[in-house]
A and B are shown apart, each in its own frame.
Chain A
Amino acid sequence: MTAKPASGASAGGRAGMKKELPERFKAYKHVWVFVELERGVVHPVSWELLGEGRKLADKLGVQLAAAVLGGPGEATKHAVSEAFAYGADVVYAAASPVLEAYRNESYTRCMTELVNTYKPEILLLGATTLGRDLAGSVATTLLTGLTADSTGLEVDADGSLAATRPTFGGSLLCTIYTLNFRPQMATVRPRVFSLPERQEGRSGPVIEHNFSMLEDDIVTKILQFIPDRDSNKTNLAYADVVVAGGLGLGGAENYQLVKDLANALGAEWGGSRPLVQRGWIPADRQIGQTGKTIRPKLYIAAGISGAIQHRVGVEGADLILAINTDKNAPIFDFAHVGIVTDAVRLLPALAKAFRQRISPSTRTRMAV
């Protein structure tokens, strides 16, 4: 009950607990991914999870299934066929007017029905606002374990799901099991896993679930949906190039240097958690375990020390360039290229160098 993280206990507390799966759970089989369909669009995290779910299912020798919930229209049908293209062997589909837009009541009821009827051993959901709202309700209804924001999923020798996530404010990692309850549930943040290759022409059986809930059964009503203005929307998680700053920049006024370099590269900008806490950058620009997970081709970290909670958010990058005055900073343990210098001096020089090399205007001039 002390300052312990997540769904976990103190390190040694439960280590001795044995796997003794009750009889009623022995029929639970197959790996499921909840497909997050909202306003006609599937969140890419669902396909990322199908990619990772494929590996788990193959290891267990079971099927990979997608659960697609949505309205009665074309979008749901399209999501079903896309689920096959991204690796599902079978799709459980529920189409109903009460599933058109996400609401906790209808989605929790429907997912609970599906799980109780078809009994998956593993259920994965995206750790989005929708997925986290739903996962907590479903796990509580089913009285099973749920690991939030997993950064690694493995299957153990005995077939148990081992979900790894940062703990203690992101200073260590822990591996969490749900040994004696089913399904074993986990959420994973967008971009933790890469998008699997889309395979055209794959298909399989669709099991339609007749969901009988009516609008009158639902207390919560959606009065309005106000889409984010595009100008405010950050595409951090899916950007090819990201430049980020940390406390090593020395002061809020120096953050502009990060934006300038991002601008020169046509990149997205972000920062570490302390910058958000100090109000230098908005919360949706935070990179790391409690912010955005990114997988860019190039990630430039300026003045970021590289705590674990930051590391797990950027490790998927193809190339990490770190700039830090402290040669012992942990970021140099996982960056590919390091420069031990003051980012405040180097950032403007980098912006200038990239502008000269890749800016279209320079190119045109050179071509003339």
Chain B
Amino acid sequence: MHIVVCIKQVPDSAQIRVHPVTNTIMRQGVPTIINPYDLFALEAALRLRDLHGGKITVLTMGPPMAEESLRRALSFGPDRAVLLTDRSFAGSDTLATSYALSETIRKIGEVFGPVDIVFTGKQTIDGDTAQVGPGIAKRLNLNQLTYVAGVKALDLKGGSITVERRAEGGVQVLSTKLPCLITMLEGTNEIRRGSIEVAINAARAEVVTWSAAAAGIADTAKCGLKGSPTVVKRVFAPKPRSEKAFQIDLSGLGPDAIAETAMAEIFKRLPSLEKELTQELQR
């Protein structure tokens, strides 16, 4: 069995600062992390390898510094890491990204053996689109399983897999054929602590680094800005409301008196609310 896990290096969102004057992102000194959603995908892959054997390849597309994230990923125990890096990818939107990644997964299959399952996180914390996983699935004609809460059964001989998928209002139990692509839901497992031995090996491991050409990406017109149908025209900070919040005067008041004042202010502004709340509570 061969599993590919796609990860992304993202800025630690808690640390992002916006320049107060220019409204641009201040990237300097912002630490990067593996997109937290991807760790659920990686752990799900590791658990399948525990049960069924096989190899796991982690893949990322990014600038050369994304190698750090691959090394960190290797410390949890996958077998190899591939970094796809090329200037021609700069400015890729989700359609262009899914093209580059799907072509690379094809190449990984040729070089390291046929791929049975591709895992991704549900989405990334910087883009939050959840579009790249389905994009890869469609391009590689993989059976698509999104928002997966857990793998229930895997039959490698029969080439089938059963998963639980989070749907609106419930859980679907789905069965499909391999090869497939799974986007893993958050909170569904906890990434393991890699052993010291694994960590040492990870530090020494060679990260396979491919340019677009090395990954067999023939059509660079489908990559980067050129290959992206979407255009970001404007990035801006939202306008503050014309008036600031009406501040309740607290001078000398204790919590009970403030609460009474706040409640009176609420019912003054929403006159029908008191009756509705009372009726609601009586039901």
- Cβ of B200 < 8 Å from any Cβ of A? no
The answer to whether B225 touches A171, judged by C-beta atoms less than 8 angstroms apart, is: no
Whether A266 lies near B277 (C-beta < 8 A) is yes
Say what secondary structure dominates the interface of chain B: mixed
The answer to whether B130 has its CB under 8 Å from any CB of chain A is: yes
User: Which residues of A from 39 to 92 have beta carbons under 8 Å from B?
Assistant: 39, 43
Determine the main DSSP class of A at the interface with B: mixed
Map CB proximity to A onto B167-182 as digits: 1 under 8 Å, 0 otherwise: 1111111111100000
CB distance A173 to B147 under 8 Å? no
Chain B: minimal CB distance from A242 (Å) = 13
Asked if B269 contacts A7 (CB within 8 A), the reply is: no
Number of A-B contacts (CB under 8 A): 337
Closest to A289 in B: B128
* Interface residue B157 (Cβ < 8 Å from any Cβ of A): no
Q: For the complex, what is the distance from the CA of A332 to the CA of B255, rounded to whole Å?
A: 20
Q: How far is the CA of A350 from the CA of B10 in the complex (A)?
A: 41
Question: Contact: A173 with B248, CB < 8 Å?
Answer: no
Q: Smallest CB–CB gap between A102 and chain B, Å?
A: 7
Q: How many residues of A contact B (CB 8 A)?
A: 113
Cβ contact within 8 Å between B169 and A241: no
- Determine if A24 is an interface residue (Cβ-Cβ < 8 Å): no
CB of A310, distance to nearest CB on chain B (Å): 12
Do A338 and B167 form a contact, CB below 8 Å, given A162-B233, A180-B229, A358-B278? no
Given contacts A148-B128, A148-B129, A349-B258, whether A337 and B225 have CB atoms under 8 Å apart is: no
Q: Is the CB of A9 within 8 A of B93?
A: yes
Give the complex CA separation of A313 and B185 in angstroms.
21
* Residue B61 is within 8 A (CB to CB) of chain A in the complex: yes
Among A3, A149, A162, A335, the most chain B Cβ lie within 10 Å of the Cβ of A3
Query: Which of B11, B146, B245, B280 lies in contact with A338, CB distance below 8 A?
Result: B245
Answer yes or no: B52 CB below 8 A from chain A CBs.
no
The A235-267 residues at the B interface (CB cut-off 8 A) are 240-241, 265-266
Chain B contact residues, CB within 8 Å of chain A = 9-11, 13-14, 16-18, 23-25, 27, 32, 61-63, 85, 89-95, 98, 125-135, 137-139, 143-147, 162, 166-177, 186-187, 224-225, 228-238, 240-241, 244-248, 250, 255-256, 258-260, 262-263, 265-266, 269-270, 273-274, 276-278, 280-282
11 contacts between A and B (CB under 8 A): A3-B32, A5-B127, A7-B230, A149-B128, A169-B125, A171-B16, A178-B230, A180-B229, A298-B273, A334-B240, A360-B282
